[in-house]
Amino acid sequence: MIAFILTGISAAGMSLSAQDQPQTLTLSVDEAVDYALDHNRSVASARYELLASEKGVWEVMAAGLPSIDASASLSYNLAIMTRIIDFGGTPTPFKFGTKYDASAGVSASAVVFNAPWLVGVQTAKMASTLARQGLTQTTLDTKENIRNVYFLILTLKESMKVVDANLENLNAILTSTKAMYSVGMAEATDVDQMQSTVTMLENSRSSMLRSLEVNHNMLRFLLGVPAGTEINLTDNLDDITSKIDVELLLADEFNLEDNISYQLIQSQHAMSELALKSAKASTLPSLAGSIYYNRNGMGDKLMHMQYFPYSAVAFQLQIPIFASGLRDAKIKKAQINLEKSMNTRSMVSEQLLMQERQLRYNLLNANEQFKSQKANIEIADRVLKSFENKYNQGMASSLDLTQANNNYLTAQNNYISALMNLLQTKVAFDKLMNKL
């Protein structure tokens, strides 16, 4: 997945010139969302799809509306056709035609009645509706991805702050322990224990740095900017979490009709209904009309040709009679697809209702876990400071201090995980409620 994203980033970076994109972006999470909606490749593709579908509606409509065409032709007969006709026993050659032939005319045609065309217009309009809903779906997906990656970067930075502070403290203790060992006040195992703890923490920090860069690349890809663009995030986690009111969120009622996934499945069901109507419409007669007026010119001299008018009004009636069961098979197939779409619609409805109940539970649980882990950090911090004092006074071993430090880091990791879970759950809930 990461390889695919990085490949996409490289391709996007090569397709944009440096003048088109800023080299540094400073964005809040809302600004990042707005920027992505203007520059994200998936959103742009969905917009093009909508524009094409809107033009497709008129394309289908125009196929049945009146059309007018004009034509003109001029030909010079290099050799005029000659036939021999017997007149009283004497074969006589006759030329049929003149050196020049010309014609000019205008014609108009229109559909008087064509049921498949009428259904086709409805289908084209529904396809445009589907494209518009597809743009909405892509927009929501982009908003969700931007927020999640933005929050993930913030939580990684917060974790690095904790690790950096912890490393600074442990390095000071390690230096003190080495000094105590040099004068015989500490054992070699104490130094080794502290050195091992510092090394493990440094490895964790290096891993976080790599994860941070990967997520920055993901954010660049979602924003539609070159890989070298520097992105500065202005929001902080405290401000973001302080605005989360779980009770207010849970008070909202879920309206299935407002959910874009349900709207899409409803439109797909409507397309299945139109497909059935189109299959049935193919059994109905169709009627088209046309009118044309022509002037045909003939003569042996170009400037002295004789012209004769010709005009007609025509109607074409087509009545389906027998097609070896083809039309009946199409109707039955369309009926099966309609029943399938009804089943899919029911399934999606049940899934969305179940997802809504699950997200409410997840949101409530994530909020409780967040508050609980936040309280645990304060406890773990007090315990760590206590063991640091005891260790400095020789009342605790390096093993005790290492264990207390590990407990503190575990509490920090649990807090960061709970925080990220709360943010992601809220984003998912907002998306479901169409309030992202």
Residue 111: which H helix or E strand, with range? Answer: strand 100-113
Range of the domain at 398: 2-10+21-64+114-284+329-432
Would you say residue 37 lies in a domain? yes
Distance CA 196, CA 180 (A): 17
Domain shared by 39 and 167, yes or no: yes
Contact 124, 59 (CB under 8 A): yes
Would you say residue 133 lies in a domain? yes
362 closest CA partner among 429, 419, 416 = 429
For position 361, what pLDDT does the model report? 96
Instruction: Report how far apart the first and last C-alpha atoms of the chain are (Å, whole number).
Output: 25
Domain shared by 126 and 94, yes or no: no
Contacts 24+ apart (CB under 8 A), 93-99: 97/298, 98/298, 98/299, 98/300, 98/305, 99/299, 99/300, 99/301
Domain shared by 231 and 127, yes or no: yes
Average pLDDT of the residues of the chain: 89
- pLDDT above 90: residue 402: no
Domain shared by 81 and 178, yes or no: no
Confidence class of residue 428 from pLDDT cuts 50, 70 and 90? very high
Domain shared by 37 and 123, yes or no: yes
**CATH number of the domain bearing residue 410:** 1.20.1600.10
Mean pLDDT of 46-52: 96
Q: What are phi and psi of 394, to 5 degrees?
A: 80, 15
Confidence class of residue 3 from pLDDT cuts 50, 70 and 90? very low
For position 12, what pLDDT does the model report? 45
Distance CA 348, CA 261 (A): 8
Beta bridge partners, 27, equal: 233
Counts of helices then strands in the chain (DSSP H, E): 10, 8
Would you say residue 324 lies in a domain? no
Burial label, 91 (beta-carbon count in 10 A; 0-12, 13-18, 19+): exposed
User: How many structural domains are present in the chain?
Assistant: 2
Would you say residue 16 lies in a domain? no
Confidence class of residue 9 from pLDDT cuts 50, 70 and 90? very low
Domain shared by 366 and 225, yes or no: yes
Span 132-171, pLDDT tens digits: 999 999 999 999 999 999 999 999 999 999 899 889 888 9
pLDDT > 90 fraction of the chain, expressed in percent and rounded: 68
Confidence class of residue 13 from pLDDT cuts 50, 70 and 90? very low
Domain shared by 209 and 250, yes or no: yes
Distance CA 388, CA 147 (A): 39
Would you say residue 85 lies in a domain? yes
Distance CA 90, CA 79 (A): 24
Mean pLDDT of 199-226: 94
Would you say residue 263 lies in a domain? yes
Would you say residue 198 lies in a domain? yes
Confidence class of residue 334 from pLDDT cuts 50, 70 and 90? very high
Span 76-134, pLDDT tens digits: 888 888 888 877 777 877 777 788 999 999 999 999 999 999 999 999 999 999 999 99
Would you say residue 256 lies in a domain? yes
Kindly report the number of other CB atoms within 10 A of residue 279's CB atom.
21
- pLDDT above 50: residue 253: yes
Domain shared by 162 and 235, yes or no: yes
Residue 234: which H helix or E strand, with range? Answer: none
Domain shared by 104 and 214, yes or no: no
Domain shared by 256 and 277, yes or no: yes
Domain shared by 403 and 360, yes or no: yes
Domain shared by 125 and 103, yes or no: no
Q: Left if phi > 0, otherwise alpha if psi is -120 to 50, otherwise beta: which for 231?
A: beta
Distance CA 396, CA 387 (A): 7
pTM assigned to the model: 0.83
